[in-house]
Amino acid sequence: MEIKLFLERPALFDHYVASHPRGDVLQTTAWGRVKASTGWEAYPLGVLERGALVASALVLTKRLPLIPGYAAYSPRGPLYSSPEALRCLLTEGAAFLKAKGALVWKMDPAIPQGDQIWLETTSSLGLRPVETGLDFDSVQPRHVMVLDLHPSLDTLLGGMKSKTRYNIRYAQRKGVQVQQIREKGQLGVFYCLLQETAQRDHFTIRDLSYFEALWDHLVLGGLARVFLAYHEGKPLAGAICFRLGQRAWYVYGASSSEQRNLQAPHLLQWEMIRWAKGAGCTIYNFRGVSGDLRPEHPLYGLYRFKEGFGAQLETYVGEFDLPVRRGGYALWLAGLKLHNWLRSRKREGH
C-alpha cells in the first residue's frame, strides 16, 4: 500500500468517497474548495493498493492564531475499506502533515459508536478520544437523526407521528408551496431568513459569501440544493440539503417568525424527503440533536421535531485527535484552552 495526494485526480478521489457506505460531502474535493474560500488548505489523501483506492481522507489545514503551527481536520473522515488501509492512511498521513507543520490531526468519522475496528486501530496508533459532552460542543454532531428512505412515500408518511403528518397536510391546505432556488441571486432570500433565525435563537452565522461559495462548488456541482417555502409570495422557511450517492443531509435551516402557525418547516422537510427519495437516496440525515433525550432538556424540542418524521437516533464514535508533532499536542491543548477562555470572556462581555 502507498499513500498519494490526489490534487491532480480529484474525480478518482471523489468517486471513492461517493461509493463508500460512510461517504460524506464533507470529504469531497468540492468541500475542500469551499473551505479554501475561508482560508483553509485542502489535501485529498488516498491509499492505493494494486492501483485501487482503499482509504481516503480530505484533510483541511489552517495556521493557528495563538500558537506556532497548523491544525489539521478531516470532517466526517477518514474513510477506509480495511483495517490495514486505515493504519496506512493514519501513519503515512501523519508523516505528511508533520512535514506541513501540523500539530494535531482531528477527525470525526460517521462510524457507529463502539465499532471495534476503529477503536482497536486508533488506540494502537495513539489517537485520543475528545470528550465533547452530549450537546453541540463537537465540530460535527455526534448524535444524529436518520430516516430510512427504502419504504414508499405513503409508508414514510404513515410512519410519522400523527402531529407531524397533520402539520404537513395543514401547510398544504393553507397553500404553502416549496420550491428549489434556481439562481444564485436568490440566496439572499434564504440568507435573510437565516439572519432572522440566528437573531431569534441566539446563534452566530457565516457571511453571505460563504453560502455563495456553497453555491459555486456544491449546488452547481450537484452536491447540494437550496429550498424555500412560500405562502402567497412571502418566504417563510428555507433549507440547504447536501446529497452524495444514496445519502442526503439536512444541513442548514431557517424560518420566519411570522405565520408560524402555517407549519412551513414541516412541509419543507417533507418536500426535501420526497426530493431525496426521488433522486435515489436511501438515507435522509436530519443531522444533529442532543444526546440528552430528557423532555426537560432545552434541546428536546429539536429531537422531537426530527423524531416526528420517523427518524431514528444514531450515535457516532465522536471526535479523535492524532498528535502529529512531539510536544505539539500539549501546545495545541494549551492554545485551545486559551481560545475557549477568550471566547467565554467575549460572551460575558455581551
Q: Which structural domains are found in the chain, ordered by start?
A: 2-133+316-349 (3.40.630.30), 143-315 (3.40.630.30)
CB 187 within 8 A of CB 181: yes
Classify the C-alpha dihedral 53-56-58-61 as positive or negative.
negative
> Which residue matches cell numbers 480530505?
58
Q: Rounded to an integer, what distance in angstroms lies between the CA atom of residue 43 and that of residue 73? A: 10
pLDDT above 50 for 179: yes
* Residue 332 confidence (pLDDT): 76
Please provide the average confidence, as pLDDT, over all residues in the chain: 93
CB 307 within 8 A of CB 145: yes
- 59 in Cβ contact with 95 (< 8 Å): no
Mean pLDDT of 93-101: 96
Amino acid at 111: I
Task: Tell me the percentage of the chain whose pLDDT exceeds 90.
Answer: 84
Of 38-52, 134-148, 305-319, least confident by mean pLDDT is: 134-148
How does residue 347 score in pLDDT terms, banded at 50, 70 and 90?
Answer: very low
334 or 157, greater pLDDT: 157
Q: Report residue 338's pLDDT band, with 50, 70 and 90 as the boundaries.
A: low
Distance CA 335, CA 139 (A): 17
Task: List, for residues 4-56, the tens digit of each pLDDT value.
Answer: 999 999 999 999 999 999 999 999 999 999 999 999 999 999 999 999 999 99
Q: How far apart are CA 43 and CA 18, in angstroms?
A: 17
The pLDDT, as a whole number, for residue 348 is 47
In angstroms, the CA 299 to CA 229 distance is 24
